[in-house]
Amino acid sequence: MGGTIRIAVLGASGYTGADLVRLAAGHSNIEIAALTANTHAGKSMASVFPHLSVLPLPDLTTWESVDWNGVDAVFCGLPHGTTQKITASVLGTNPGIKVIDMSADFRLRDPQVYAEWYGHSHFAPELQDEAVYGLTESYRDQIRTARLVACPGCYPTAVLTALLPIVSEGLVDSSDIVIDAKSGVSGAGRGLKQNTLFCEAGEGLSPYAVASHRHAPEIEQELSRAAGTELLINFTPHLIPMSRGELCTSYLRLSAGANPAMLRDALKARYADETFIKVVDEDVIPQTQNVRGSNFVQIGVFADRIAGRAIVVSALDNLVKGSAGQALQNMNLLFGLDESTGLKQLPLFP
């Protein structure tokens, strides 16, 4: 296949929306049919994101005014709850549209868990059933035939790519997983908050949402499935003074007979044929600088000095593989394209 895919991006005034536009502009098969941002409707995209002013782009509009019959795929980067509300309407107008959600609205299979963490009942439980979790490397086949893809959060992508193969092979004690996560400030979005001002976030560092971050249940859902048993994780994110990038350091207790090299080997075997997941050798240390602006994940395994323990480090760009890039990767699957189309951009360093 090689026809034109007409896309709409809902929530195009956020960082994720902008990064999707950046990537889509380099995709040979995409035509951007609509960009929405209800609070900025009527403005040019260039006025909201001057770095995109070199592109010919449609003006921002409301999602209600999009002509859905002229759209093949819709990327949703909306506040939580919103996509649940509008998807039925969109699909009612054009049932052939592929919905690629970058929000949390369809990630949690259990609507009870959703309600617990997001503070309201799920607005579209009937759609939840057909949603496929969009961790591309794990759900590739299901994504190909899906209509609604729920792309993972940035932290879950970093953690799950690193831990799923290890947990599913029983190499570690799944009841003792400690994840110390670090994210650049763009993960908090473009909304105005005091703690993301330059003077507040710069030259300093702090944990946030300690043991209460909404990405924890999402990670647990997938790790539990891999482990074959319900598990809880210790997950603590930290805000780091950089714009992009995310790094998760996972502290693991090895199963009897396992050792760090076996973990590395399992990861290398699992990802040998993957384009975007790179398992590094023993002497290489993952760092966010190595993946900035790209769709790559870098994973490293280290022996702990305590016998029977290992440390796994994974790094990605939260706006790319952690959001817009993986969404585009999934779109490629949905339309039968080579999975890496539009995603070959290399990391930007320095």
Considering only 66, 291, 299, 327, the residue that binds a copy of itself (CB under 8 A) is 291
Nearer to a copy of itself, 126 or 203 (CB): 203
Assess 247 for contact with a copy of itself (CB under 8 A): yes
Nearer to a copy of itself, 44 or 168 (CB): 44
As a whole number of angstroms, the distance between CA 11 and CA 132 comes to: 21
Letter string b/e over residues 241-265, b meaning 16 or more CB atoms within 10 A of that residue's CB: ebebbbbbbbbbbbbeebbbebbbe
- Please choose, from the candidates 157, 166, 12, 4, the residue with its C-alpha nearest in 3D space to the C-alpha of residue 76: 12
Residue 139 neighbours by CB distance under 10 Å: 19
Assess 273 for contact with a copy of itself (CB under 8 A): no
Helix, strand, or coil here: 271?
Answer: coil
Q: CA 94, 96, 101: angle at the middle one, nearest 5? A: 90
User: Segment 8-27, which members bind a copy of itself (CB under 8 A)?
Assistant: 15, 18, 22, 25-26
Nearer to a copy of itself, 70 or 204 (CB): 204
Q: Do the beta carbons of residue 153 and residue 215 sit within 8 Å?
A: yes
Q: Do the beta carbons of residue 150 and residue 105 sit within 8 Å?
A: yes
Report in angstroms the alpha-carbon separations of 172 from 2, 258, 289.
Answer: 43, 8, 29
User: Segment 179-218, which members bind a copy of itself (CB under 8 A)?
Assistant: 180, 182, 184-186, 190, 192-194, 196-208, 210-212, 216
How many residues touch a copy of itself under the rule CB under 8 A: the total is 83
Binding mask 31-50 for a copy of itself (x = CB under 8 A): ------------------xx
How far is CA 143 from its chain centroid? Answer: 15
Q: Minimum distance between the CB of residue 69 and a copy of itself, rounded to whole angstroms?
A: 29
Binding mask 47-66 for a copy of itself (x = CB under 8 A): --xxxxxxx-----------
Which range in 63-71, 96-104, 176-184, 335-343 contacts a copy of itself by CB under 8 A? 176-184
As a whole number of angstroms, the distance between CA 58 and CA 187 comes to: 26
Q: Minimum distance between the CB of residue 275 and a copy of itself, rounded to whole angstroms?
A: 9
Considering only 264, 270, 278, 321, the residue that binds a copy of itself (CB under 8 A) is 278
Nearer to a copy of itself, 44 or 94 (CB): 44
Assess 345 for contact with a copy of itself (CB under 8 A): yes
Considering only 313, 331, 333, 343, the residue that binds a copy of itself (CB under 8 A) is 313
Q: Do the beta carbons of residue 15 and residue 319 sit within 8 Å?
A: yes
Which among 151, 154, 199, 248 is annotated as catalytic? 154
In 71-134, where do the E strands start and end?
Answer: 73-76, 98-101, 132-133
Nearer to a copy of itself, 250 or 330 (CB): 250
Considering only 11, 81, 165, 286, the residue that binds a copy of itself (CB under 8 A) is 286
- Please choose, from the candidates 24, 93, 53, the residue with its C-alpha nearest in 3D space to the C-alpha of residue 8: 24
Assess 296 for contact with a copy of itself (CB under 8 A): yes
Bridge partners, 3 (sequence order): none
Residue 337 neighbours by CB distance under 10 Å: 21
Identify whether 154 is a catalytic site residue. yes
Assess 245 for contact with a copy of itself (CB under 8 A): yes
Considering only 4, 121, 234, 340, the residue that binds a copy of itself (CB under 8 A) is 234
Active site residues: 154
